[in-house]
Amino acid sequence: MSTAPLSLPPPERLTESALLNTAVRKYALDNVVRFKRMHGGLGLVEANSLEFDPRADYWRRPERRIAVTYLSNTWNGRCTPTALVREHALLVTQHLDRLRSERGFRPFGVNYAELGGWDAICQQLVQHAGELGPVAGWEKLQQVWRIHEPTAAAHLVQYLQSTLGRVDGPKADEAAFQRRAGWFPYLGALSQEDLARRQRFFYGYVNLLTSTNAYMYGGASQQFASVIQNTPFGTIRGLVRQWQNFGQSPVQTGFPSLNGSDVTPQERKHHSVVKELFGFLCLDRLPFVNGVTQQAYCTAAGTTETYAAMEHAGKTNRAWLAGDAGRVASLSGQFDQMWIDAVVPTAKLVHFETVDRQADFARAGDSPSSLIDGTLSKALIASADRVRSSVSPEQKAMCALHLLADAWLLENPDKHAAVIVDPQPTPPITTKPAVVVAVEPPAPSLVLPPGLKQPGELALAYLGAGAHVLFAGAPGTGKTTVAQFVADAWNQKKDQLASSLPRSALPTTVVAHSGWSPFHTVGGLVPGSDGKWQQAPGIFVEKTDAGWRLLNSALVLDEMNRADLDRSIGDLYPLLSNSVSEVRPAGIPGVDALRLSERFRIIATVNDATLDDIVYPISEGLARRFVRIELPGASEDDVAAFVCDASPESDRRDAAREVIATLYREAATRKFSLRDGEIERMPFGAGYFGLLRSWVLGELVMPPTLVPPALWATAYGILCAGLATAIRPHKALREVLNALTPAIDD
């Protein structure tokens, strides 16, 4: 007898998991893509060393902060003709830098009121910007992008003047971090050659730190983007170098870093991004963890300390592989095959130079191959390939083992390590074709979007403390979906939400209605089959041998403000707050008491934006019995993931991404979207983009007579159809959509 590798099925199943189980293989390949991005990014960072302190070299220098804001707002999506845009951006940043180095410009900081006010600072910037000399090719940029200002200086001055009157200066116009990242290499660049080196460094740095699942899908970007933008790059690079020596010399797993409000570095090793990044960079020694696998590893190691559990898993798996050439060869071969199969989609990478529409290249006399991203992505993949070629078969086997462990756990979240009889060593992978196994399609299920996991588990914690929960937000934000997952976890007495639920097993869900009365919610008398009146419990109540009581489980109450709940459940108020153990319901003969149930919880939803006026206000007495959790509107990443991530790479998927990016750019330009820290959000959820998602997946087939010649135009038409119901409560959305239409004519 011996212990199987942590959290894996029996070893003879490893090959089956990788070759025959589509879901397990997909999870593993997705994470190989992240492995390539992180290790390739680290290689570019090391090969193009650069010291950059975001606070001293960017945030606290108003001339640089406004330069990045100007470039990201004016030229994102317009980087063609590429050579001319690059030259223009370099001249602008160099010219603004000279204001400090040659003209004695002194303001340094972000509290502009203490520096004399933004208007006084901006007037100095405006005067200096007006002295920007001629920019070669400006007439061409005017023609391509229909710019009215006659010179580059006038264009820059016009933008600077638009910020006058603001207390915080450029803050209101700052795009999300990844949309600004492509312009950071220009800060301090001395020449086009120096710019190219700095682009390689920043491209590697951003891919290294933003490729984790937690950053891309788990909502951790909102806290970690600030860390990236405030911590000196040398500090983070030094921590990463220590991690690379893990297991070979004493190493700290800490991550002392700065966010926007920190005066001194704060420990952030417990951030989900940091834990996952640490695991990926040490994958040949340790597994990486996420919200599903972390608990399994900690349980197996008998500890609540994540890094200790990761180290325990690494030791267990090394011991299992030690001395078994068959196992090493098999898993090493699987890693090599996964490496070949895991093609890094360009849509997943960071984009430094973007053009929103293919037609813009033709108008500019340029081509997509001129964008720096193609060169940078090839350099990143080549850097990652060098990592793979430098590791031993044993290291590859450990990487494969940890990738498969994660994938298998995600597909089988309730299964953990087991003690088994050692089988014969698994033979190495050969070139024989894989056997195709026919499997019965799974029952339809509801999938929990990654962005809803964090608010859902927060709600589950509130239920455990005795509270009821109210999910609030605009339509389409996933309130009902997350409420059902929370109710399921509560009813099943789990401390984590499931990743998917069979639709046939969803918890009880009711939709509030304006016609509700105490009869519907508490109960009353109804005629029986014998013609006599009998008692019937309401929606919130159940009848037991001991009498009537509240349900002993969670109830999802959808759109609770569509019922007059003060009238409908007033009898239950003392029970909802645990003020009493029983109440006497009025008007139900024979029912002396309605008792409290220990497990009764209401998980309610409410739309903060409504499509009609049949809505009742939620009284203070009712509201105080609920903990309110806000679900924000959809970010560009939310929508792109919802629309595109379930489909393979295709022209439809590329067109959808293109139209989504253009929508968000126009929404930000016209101040329609809402700024949430670093993120632009729509005032509604990703659910409004379901029609576009169906088209990308091939479920929506347009009649041939209605299909425009350009795929982008088809995607645009479907986008407009899906957002049609959002135009009524958000009338300015029509202007945003209309601003996209010129692309159809190009």
Q: For 302-327, write each residue's pLDDT tens digit.
A: 888 999 999 998 998 888 888 888 88
Q: How far is CA 545 from the centre of its chain?
A: 48
Residues 6+ apart with CB under 8 A from 368: 355, 358, 361, 374
C-alpha–C-alpha distance, residues 643 and 213, integer Å: 17
Helix ranges (H only) for 162-220 are 177-180, 192-210, 213-216
The phi and psi torsions of 536 (rounded to 5 degrees) equal: -130, 120
On the question of pLDDT at 349 being above 80, the answer is no
On the question of pLDDT at 109 being above 50, the answer is yes
Provide the pLDDT confidence category of residue 221 given band limits of 50, 70 and 90. Answer: low
Residues 545-557 have a mean pLDDT of 88
Q: Write down the pLDDT at residue 420.
A: 28
Residues 465-492 have a mean pLDDT of 91
C-alpha–C-alpha distance, residues 312 and 300, integer Å: 9
Q: Which position has the higher pLDDT, 447 or 477? A: 477
569-597: per-residue pLDDT in tens? 877 888 887 778 888 876 677 788 888 88
Residues 734-745 have a mean pLDDT of 68
- Reported in sequence order, the residue ranges of 227-323 that DSSP labels E, i.e. its strands, are 256-257, 266-267
Instruction: Looking at mean pLDDT, say which of 10-19, 39-48, 345-354 comes out highest.
Output: 39-48
Pull the structure tokens for residue 377. 């992505």
Q: Exposed/middle/buried for 120, CB within 10 Å: 0-12, 13-18, 19+?
A: exposed
If phi over 0 gives left and psi between -120 and 50 gives alpha, with beta otherwise, what is residue 35? alpha
Provide the pLDDT confidence category of residue 424 given band limits of 50, 70 and 90. Answer: very low
Residues 6+ apart with CB under 8 A from 328: 321, 393, 394, 397
Instruction: Looking at mean pLDDT, say which of 214-223, 377-386, 410-419, 525-534 comes out highest.
Output: 377-386
Residues 436-442 have a mean pLDDT of 36
On the question of pLDDT at 224 being above 60, the answer is yes
Cis peptide before 11 (omega within 30 of 0): no
Residue with tokens 């009146």: 533
Q: Which position has the higher pLDDT, 112 or 174? A: 112
For the chain, what's the residue count? 746
Q: Write down the pLDDT at residue 538.
A: 85
Is 688 in contact with 383 (CB distance < 8 Å)?
A: no
CA-based angle 513:514:516, to the nearest 5?
Answer: 70
Count the alpha carbons within 13 Å of 672 in the hemisphere toward its beta carbon: 23
Residues 6+ apart with CB under 8 A from 127: none
Pull the structure tokens for residue 8. 């894996």
On the question of pLDDT at 16 being above 70, the answer is no
Taking the chain, what is the end-to-end CA distance rounded to the nearest angstrom?
Answer: 70
On the question of pLDDT at 444 being above 90, the answer is no
Element (H, E) at 317: helix 306-321
On the question of pLDDT at 254 being above 90, the answer is no
On the question of pLDDT at 156 being above 60, the answer is yes
Residues 452-468 have a mean pLDDT of 90
Q: Write down the pLDDT at residue 560.
A: 87
Most distant pair of Cα atoms in the chain: their distance: 98
On the question of pLDDT at 182 being above 90, the answer is yes
Q: Write down the pLDDT at residue 441.
A: 38
Pull the structure tokens for residue 456. 């859902």
Q: Write down the pLDDT at residue 416.
A: 42
The phi and psi torsions of 104 (rounded to 5 degrees) equal: 75, 25
- For residue 675, count other CB atoms closer than 10 A to its CB: 16
Provide the pLDDT confidence category of residue 237 given band limits of 50, 70 and 90. Answer: very high
Provide the pLDDT confidence category of residue 14 given band limits of 50, 70 and 90. Answer: low
C-alpha–C-alpha distance, residues 331 and 248, integer Å: 23
Domain boundaries in the chain?
450-631, 636-745
Q: What is the mean pLDDT of the chain?
A: 84
Q: Write down the pLDDT at residue 371.
A: 94
The phi and psi torsions of 334 (rounded to 5 degrees) equal: -65, -40
- Beta strands 523-527 and 533-537: pairing type? antiparallel
- Domain 450-631 indexed as CATH 1.10.3720.10: no
Q: Write down the pLDDT at residue 1.
A: 39
Q: Write down the pLDDT at residue 717.
A: 87
Q: Write down the pLDDT at residue 130.
A: 96
Q: How far is CA 89 from the centre of its chain?
A: 30
Q: Can you say whether the dihedral through the CA atoms of 43, 269, 289, 465 is positive or negative? A: negative
Element (H, E) at 405: helix 393-411
What is the DSSP-derived secondary structure letter of residue 117? -
Q: Which position has the higher pLDDT, 708 or 172? A: 172
Q: Which position has the higher pLDDT, 269 or 198? A: 198
On the question of pLDDT at 380 being above 60, the answer is yes
Count the alpha carbons within 13 Å of 559 in the hemisphere toward its beta carbon: 17
Pull the structure tokens for residue 3. 């212990």
Q: Which position has the higher pLDDT, 512 or 54? A: 54
On the question of pLDDT at 421 being above 50, the answer is no
663-685: per-residue pLDDT in tens? 988 888 888 888 777 688 898 88
The phi and psi torsions of 530 (rounded to 5 degrees) equal: -90, 5
What is the DSSP-derived secondary structure letter of residue 486? H
On the question of pLDDT at 742 being above 60, the answer is no
Q: Write down the pLDDT at residue 297.
A: 86
503-547: per-residue pLDDT in tens? 777 888 898 888 888 888 888 888 877 778 888 888 888 888 888
Residues 91-103 have a mean pLDDT of 95
Q: Which position has the higher pLDDT, 379 or 517? A: 379
Q: Write down the pLDDT at residue 486.
A: 94
- Beta strands 626-631 and 468-473: pairing type? parallel
On the question of pLDDT at 247 being above 70, the answer is no
